[in-house]
């Protein structure tokens, strides 16, 4: 009971460090809602203080060291300041108390993963929580508490990009595309095959499952895993540009998690045509899928029956929608757009890495990404 109230309070603590929060307080429902004004990373965070008095009393019972702070909190409670401002002030004090408590007993009430919060408080909403990470101190991290990938809630988000939000920038080293109302992040200009990469540290959070999704766009003529241009060296090398699309791996040396391929066309088909998705009808690429990829891939095209050297803004890739006439099977797979890896009883703290790759120059092909979110638990 005591621990669970601290967890509830920690839900609130998340809001105090960000100056980009706006608070609204619904006195009838005793509900404080914090809305992020600048960073969509923070999104909406709902804080429910069902009975402040009880919660704080329990907390005070756990942290009797600081008489002055307790006095101040009590006077605030007694003053009946049922406003977000007062809650904010109280939480600042509570944070100090938690720190003191931690120092004196070496017991950290701060949870170390979203799964832990979900286990202790099954009704916790999705939102940004303060987590005590194994290797990188306390961090504000988004927890998705909904059912994802058919495997329950309590997911810790390691990676997030939402380029629809005009305040978001491409990851360092990526190049911004702006076309047809879409903002997306692709390879830096290159006259040959290349990848751009972004890494997402786990901060020591241990996990055995990865669940995520990526939305990209087709530029010009990506060829999925065709290897006519570059031959077997890069094609069979997970460290190279083995795909025209997105490679998601974990750790070093890289271990494959998921591959998101872009085929050149969703409608054009002749028996000799080698550039369409491996999952499309009559594809010549099914034998070209690397053994380290296996079935762990999605492939779509953004172009219809023909293609040219343009950006295709109207059919996002890897959303499982808008597959052309020959690639129906590519969209018709369970789980899409979410990809899911379950490592069973094996846990890891590997960082995740997302690379946008292609084996020809950037004038010929690219698959810039506009959105991704990757969770672990
Ligand atoms: C916040 O996140 C939820 C779930 O991911 C989403 O439905 C909602 O649109 C987001 N709101 C904003 C303002 O970004
Ligand atoms: C809050 O808790 C106190 C102490 O247990 C109780 O007397 C009071 O009725 C509670 N208030 C609400 C609104 O539940
Ligand atoms: C706090 O501690 C006092 C004395 O031990 C006890 O009577 C009271 O019930 C506790 N309050 C809560 C909310 O646990
Ligand atoms: C809590 O205590 C542990 C062990 O002393 C320490 O590593 C950690 O940084 C402390 N956390 C906070 C929030 O002070
Ligand atoms: C992405 O950002 C836009 C603009 O802020 C927002 O409307 C949308 O809900 C976000 N999408 C997701 C999936 O978070
Ligand atoms: C520690 O966390 C910060 C963000 O709070 C991040 O920028 C940094 O990369 C992390 N360091 C490691 C070693 O994971
Ligand atoms: C995973 O662990 C459970 C419980 O320890 C055990 O019953 C199960 O056989 C294990 N599964 C695998 C694939 O090792």
pLDDT at 358 over 80: yes
Kindly state the tokens that stand for 274: 């080698």
User: Which residue owns the Cα nearest ligand 7 atom 8?
Assistant: 345
User: Which residue owns the Cα nearest ligand 6 atom 1?
Assistant: 136
| DSSP assignment string, 319-342 | SS----TT-HHHH-STTTT-EEEE
Model confidence pTM above 0.85: no
Q: Among candidates 340, 344, 346, 318, which has minimal Cα distance to 331?
A: 318
Answer yes or no: is the C-beta of 99 below 6 A from any ligand 4 atom.
yes
Q: Which ligand is nearest to the CA of 346?
A: 7
pLDDT at 22 over 70: no
Reported residue count of the chain is 377
Measured in angstroms, how far is the CA atom of residue 71 from the centroid of ligand 5?
A: 43
Measured in angstroms, how far is the CA atom of residue 51 from the centroid of ligand 2?
A: 6
Measured in angstroms, how far is the CA atom of residue 73 from the centroid of ligand 1?
A: 33
pLDDT score, position 220? 97
**Cβ proximity of 15 and 45 under 8 Å:** yes
Answer yes or no: is the C-beta of 151 below 6 A from any ligand 5 atom.
no
| Residue 57 CA, closest ligand 2 atom number | 4
pLDDT at 16 over 70: no
pLDDT score, position 199? 98
- The Cβ of residue 205 has, within 10 Å, a number of other Cβ atoms equal to 24
| Residue 54 CA, closest ligand 3 atom number | 13
| Residue 30 CA, closest ligand 2 atom number | 13
Q: Among candidates 337, 335, 324, 303, which has minimal Cα distance to 214?
A: 337
Least confident of 8-22, 48-62, 99-113, 220-234: 8-22
Answer yes or no: is the C-beta of 165 below 6 A from any ligand 5 atom.
yes
**Cβ proximity of 303 and 114 under 8 Å:** no
| DSSP assignment string, 275-314 | -S-TTSTT-S-GGGS-TTTTT-EEEE-S--S---SSEEEE
Measured in angstroms, how far is the CA atom of residue 60 from the centroid of ligand 3?
A: 9
Mean pLDDT taken over the chain: 78
Q: Which ligand is nearest to the CA of 43?
A: 1
Measured in angstroms, how far is the CA atom of residue 66 from the centroid of ligand 1?
A: 39
Q: What is the pLDDT of residues 57-107, one digit of tens each?
A: 444 444 444 445 445 555 554 555 444 445 545 555 555 555 544 444 334
pLDDT score, position 75? 57
Residue-range domain boundaries for the chain: 3-99, 158-376
User: Which residue owns the Cα nearest ligand 3 atom 11?
Assistant: 58
Longest dimension (CA), the chain: 81
pLDDT score, position 79? 53
Higher model confidence: residue 90 or residue 8?
Answer: 90
Average pLDDT estimate for 235-239: 95
Answer yes or no: is the C-beta of 344 below 6 A from any ligand 7 atom.
yes
| Residue 44 CA, closest ligand 1 atom number | 1
pLDDT score, position 139? 76
Q: What is the pLDDT of residues 112-127, one digit of tens each?
A: 888 987 886 677 778 7
Q: What is the pLDDT of residues 173-230, one digit of tens each?
A: 999 999 999 999 999 999 999 999 999 999 999 999 999 999 999 999 999 999 877 6
Q: Which ligand is nearest to the CA of 137?
A: 4
Higher model confidence: residue 46 or residue 144?
Answer: 144
Kindly state the tokens that stand for 160: 């997030």
pLDDT at 20 over 50: no
User: Which residue owns the Cα nearest ligand 4 atom 10?
Assistant: 102
Answer yes or no: is the C-beta of 40 below 6 A from any ligand 1 atom.
yes
């Amino acid at each position: 009971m005591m621990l669970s109230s601290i967890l509830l309070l920690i839900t609130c603590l998340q809001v105090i460090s960000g100056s980009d929060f706006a608070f609204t307080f619904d006195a009838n429902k005793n509900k404080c809602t914090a809305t992020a004004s600048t960073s969509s990373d923070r999104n909406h965070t709902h804080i429910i203080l069902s009975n402040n008095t009880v919660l704080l009393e329990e907390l005070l019972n756990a942290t009797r060291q600081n008489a002055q702070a307790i006095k101040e909190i009590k006077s605030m409670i007694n003053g009946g300041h049922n406003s977000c401002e007062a809650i904010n002030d109280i939480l600042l004090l509570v944070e100090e108390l938690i720190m003191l408590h931690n120092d004196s007993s070496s017991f950290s009430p701060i949870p170390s993963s979203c799964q832990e919060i979900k286990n202790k408080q099954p009704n916790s909403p999705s939102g940004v929580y303060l987590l005590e990470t194994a290797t990188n101190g306390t961090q504000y991290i988004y927890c998705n508490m909904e059912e994802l990938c058919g495997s329950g809630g309590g997911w810790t988000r390691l990676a997030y990009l939402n380029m629809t939000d005009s305040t978001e920038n491409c990851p360092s080293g990526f190049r911004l595309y702006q076309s047809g109302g879409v903002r997306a992040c692709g390879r830096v200009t290159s006259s040959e095959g290349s990848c751009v990469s972004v890494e997402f540290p786990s901060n020591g959070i241990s996990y055995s499952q990865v669940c995520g999704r990526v939305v990209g766009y087709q530029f010009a003529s990506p060829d999925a895993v065709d290897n006519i241009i570059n031959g077997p060296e890069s094609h069979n090398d997970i460290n190279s540009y083995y795909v025209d699309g997105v490679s998601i791996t974990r750790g070093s040396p890289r271990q494959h998690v998921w591959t998101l391929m872009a085929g050149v066309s969703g409608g054009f088909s002749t028996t000799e045509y080698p550039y369409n998705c491996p999952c499309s009808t009559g594809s010549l690429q099914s034998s070209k899928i690397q053994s380290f990829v296996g079935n762990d891939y999605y492939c779509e095209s953004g172009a219809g029956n023909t293609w040219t050297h343009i950006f295709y803004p109207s059919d996002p890739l890897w959303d499982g929608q808008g597959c052309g006439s020959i690639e129906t099977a590519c969209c018709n797979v369970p789980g899409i757009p979410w990809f899911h890896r379950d490592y069973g009883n094996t846990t890891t703290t590997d960082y995740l890495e997302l690379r946008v790759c292609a084996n020809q120059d950037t004038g010929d092909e690219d698959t810039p990404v506009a959105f991704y979110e990757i969770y672990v638990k």
